[in-house]
Chains A and B, each alone.
Chain A
């Protein structure tokens, strides 16, 4: 692993202390949502649709209600009505179906009973009558002229001319250079066009969704749950229930993985409604089966890209037609695909059209750099083909066309300082790049881009009587962000990071904070922490001035101490602990907050190099070496930056090789377990060499850019390009499972084995 030395100009930022939540996690003491039990608690179970597409003609709960231990049964009737056009209509009817179910596993009722077994038995006794409708299971089926239309109200947004009839296309996105595309392609010496298909995949977090809700007679409820954003849990639950936010307090539990899949809600409003009806706390924990069937998949796609290049490798024109399915409801897949497909390269003539399509599968949720791994799969494998066709080295082609500071993106704004070229160079200069390959091995190069986001964050810094500090933020820690908050606060205040307790406050303990998503926690919430600390330093200087009996303008904050800079006389510097000890006499408790809307999230770039070994007779692909560079801006805690890069690679390799949702012809998921939904196991991966590139983001006080997502963008094309190098086969259909690889090898003239 590449070791990044601590920056000399920082004392704590860039060091690698053990994370504050580490010991609790490795000893099993950390409390996840399913670990909480309240006295008198009931167990809630969801009744789910066995059909992929059906009208609910009746729900009879009477038998279930009469069963032993049953305290409450709810259906959509227990929630205020919502109609199409409601701001969060999709979310509401996804949490509990109204007149129709749109996928197998769609929740339509829930039961609370004294034991889980009783609740399960009662859930099975809820009688639901359905009128089964034909299921739309693929993009092609959804777009067929005679396709059943899922949502009678779905008028394609962004259609030109405007849509006049409902269809399964929720949205069309169009970005273009506004130039003459034919003329653009006419400038090219080489034009290549390729099509790709991919299937939905799951984020694969280990911890199933879980919550406990306790609703009192005063109409207020407390929810303990695992999520990426408890303020979002509060507002979404409030929306479903028609309540004010103040009636709901959400306390975040430790989270056992989310990767984007816990940016939305499923159970919480059901648990609150059951708890309100029963007058008891209600605990709900999904099974793995439910997690697969009813939560999270990332979109499946059909992608077509056409590239025009000149003989020297200069890219001149790009045309992309991208279709994403977001499951049963509208979603942003196509939009995000369009925003990322050509973003890494200078392509003067471009035309991007993206469709979002609904089908009868679970509503998709965000998954690390949503949509971008798939556009990268298409774009970066096609670039490899272009390089080969032109006889140009794949690295050179990327270096030649890579976007740099000041150049306009396809989104129309010029890039600020970015580190794409530096990431390419870091891989080019790594020993891996020129290491020899063994028999049946191949090497693949691919780049990736993700824009990252800012949004709202809040932080409160409380100095304690003994000079230690508590840093409270509203960002659930899904990747080590607490350690980063402590390091930034330590740097600002001059306190050892281990004397700082970074905590995630509940919705009543800290200011509003958006979801931990878009790789924003260390960036945006870090900015709020820095802002709070800087206010605190102003306060500390004032307190010190009082203690010294001098003018505040003559007190500076240096290395964690108030230092007198005036010329009157010698004054001993005062430490944080000194000032805290006298706080009562200088103005009371020392507290500061920072709340902001963060702008300028620096885009992240990554460049990956992957070696595979392919068994030419079985199609089995093993990843044997992997090197990944990524621009972190500044790595606040390098170990957790490396962890993010490695985690992204692991998930991307799984997506490339084996992960996929498999449905039968009725839309029933056939592989809802980790046995048959194959995420990589530890022995499937080599040690992933993470190279942290640091090109500071000018918008952040420490130069941070988010690192949580970009790492999952390049692995699919890196693996695909490596498989091509090893076998001569281009596989344009995910996953590149042994079956598909062997088919490709066989079609290509068989193996060279035995």
Chain B
């Protein structure tokens, strides 16, 4: 109902952590593109809304040469417009660009997308295949965890009381490495993933797979990795039998539900198809990237 709510706009991480700890029902937000619709739909109202967008560190993109640091509240529109990120993580940037519409993109963030912990969120599978790390600040200081370890189930995270995500760290990918993200939605945009698949592939000099990571969204309570598919690729060309094995393993790794957005059978079948296609696209990009890194 958005009635008697307080608004705070800290400018430092420490201030934000203090505010978050000051009231039991305080909530941080970046774009609020998840939070506001949830409140309107009747979820409990926070009594303090802590706006993270005034904290410079949370909205900055920087690179040390070997590592990119992306503020957790950075609008995905800025991420999509960043040439360095687009070159290094084309799949992750594509996933970011799929969120909502231009209007949503000007607000939506990786931090919100991950912390909201929707199984169907578009960027977490790509963050995970790229081994992104989340830097988390809280009353006890800062800690760094794998992005894969933030969401623990639909709507639940491993963040402790008073904790917030400050930024994400992504290592510059090695040579002949690229990622891809594909999602299935019935429409062309403004829709929610029925299945989402991120793949990252590193090729060796002979065009065989040296390393692979595949993660599925919207087919289980949290993002699932597909180790069997990854293993099937290693040492093989990303084609033929290896891709068929990827497809089968991805379907088998799903643990989906029947709901208004999709059936178990559909999600299972399409997860395999998209995994195969995402690996092909990632491998093709890795080939094009050649030795550059």
Query: A interface vs B, CB < 8 Å?
Result: 117, 120, 617-620, 622, 657-658, 662, 670-671, 675-676, 678, 680-681, 683-684, 737-739, 742-743, 746, 753-754
Contact = CB atoms under 8 A, between A and B. Distances in A.
A618 B184 contact: yes
Contact of A671 (B190, B260, B273): B260
Given A617-B273, A618-B270, A738 B1 contact: no
A55 to B, nearest CB: 27
Most buried by B among A620, A738, A739, A753: A739
Interface stretch (B19-27, B214-222, B261-269): B261-269
A743 B269 CA distance: 10
A680 B187 CA distance: 7
B187 A681 contact: yes
Interface string B244-276: 000000000000000011110010011001101
Contacts of B188: 622, 681, 683-684
Given A617-B273, A618-B273, A681-B190, A676 B184 contact: no
A657 B186 contact: yes
Minimum-distance CB pairs A-B, first 4:
A683-B188, A617-B273, A739-B266, A662-B260
Nearest to A685: B188
A746 B268 CA distance: 14
Contacts of A658: 186-187
Contact of B266 (A662, A681, A738): A738
A742 B187 CA distance: 15
Nearest to B2: A117
A631 B283 CA distance: 53
A670 B189 CA distance: 21
Contacts of B190: 675, 681
B187 to A, nearest CB: 5
A681 B187 CA distance: 7
B260 A678 contact: no
A312 to B, nearest CB: 42
B292 interface: no
Contacts of B270: 617-618, 738, 742
7 contacts: A618-B273, A658-B187, A678-B187, A738-B184, A742-B270, A746-B269, A753-B273
Nearest to B182: A618
Contact of A117 (B1, B189, B261, B266): B1
Contacts of A619: 266
A742 B274 CA distance: 14
A685 to B, nearest CB: 9
Contacts of B262: 739
Chain A contact residues: helix, strand, loop or mixed = loop
B276 A117 contact: no
Contacts of A617: 270, 273
A671 B191 CA distance: 13
A43 to B, nearest CB: 12
A120 B2 CA distance: 12
A754 B240 CA distance: 10
A709 to B, nearest CB: 25
B191 A678 contact: yes
B1 A620 contact: no
Interface string B1-31: 1010000000000000000000000000000
Contacts of A753: 273
Interface residues of B, number: 22
B186 A678 contact: yes
Contact of B260 (A120, A622, A670, A683): A670
Contacts of B192: 675-676
A743 B274 CA distance: 17
A737 B186 contact: yes
A671 to B, nearest CB: 5
Contacts of B187: 658, 678, 680-681, 683-684
Given A120-B1, A662-B260, A738 B186 contact: yes
B274 to A, nearest CB: 8
A620 B260 contact: no
B145 to A, nearest CB: 31
Given A681-B188, A754-B276, A676 B260 contact: yes
A676 B194 CA distance: 11
Nearest to A751: B273
Contacts of A754: 243, 273, 276
Nearest to B280: A754
A614 to B, nearest CB: 13
A345 to B, nearest CB: 34
A117 B3 contact: yes
Contacts of B263: 739
A620 B261 contact: no
A680 B263 CA distance: 21
Contacts of A675: 190-192
A681 B1 contact: no
Interface in B123-178: none
B176 to A, nearest CB: 24
A676 B191 CA distance: 8
Contact of A620 (B3, B186, B243, B276): B186
Nearest to A669: B260
Given A617-B273, A618-B270, A754-B276, A681 B189 contact: yes
B252 to A, nearest CB: 17
A568 to B, nearest CB: 71
Contacts of A676: 192, 260-261
Contacts of A657: 186
A525 B184 CA distance: 47
A680 B185 CA distance: 12
Nearest to A616: B273
Given A680-B187, A738-B184, 4 more contacts: A618-B184, A681-B190, A743-B266, A746-B269
Contacts of B184: 618, 620, 738
B70 to A, nearest CB: 27
A309 B189 CA distance: 44
A746 B261 CA distance: 19
A743 B186 CA distance: 15
A680 B184 CA distance: 16
B277 to A, nearest CB: 8
Contacts of B260: 662, 670-671, 676
Given A676-B260, A676-B261, A754-B276, A742 B186 contact: no
A742 B266 contact: yes
Contacts of A739: 262-263, 266
Contacts of A737: 186
Nearest to B40: A287
A753 B263 CA distance: 21
B36 to A, nearest CB: 14
A510 B270 CA distance: 59
A349 to B, nearest CB: 41
B126 to A, nearest CB: 20
Contacts of A684: 187-188
A10 B271 CA distance: 60
Contacts of A742: 266, 269-270
Nearest to A658: B186
A617 B271 CA distance: 11
Interface string B183-208: 01011111110100000000000000
Interface in B274-293: 274, 276
A671 B192 CA distance: 13
Contacts of B273: 617-618, 753-754
A662 B262 CA distance: 12
Contacts of A681: 187-190
A622 B186 CA distance: 9
B226 to A, nearest CB: 18
Contacts of B194: 738
A737 B273 CA distance: 17
Nearest to B267: A739
A683 B186 CA distance: 12
Nearest to A622: B188
Contacts of A120: 1
Contacts of B269: 742, 746
Contacts of B3: 117
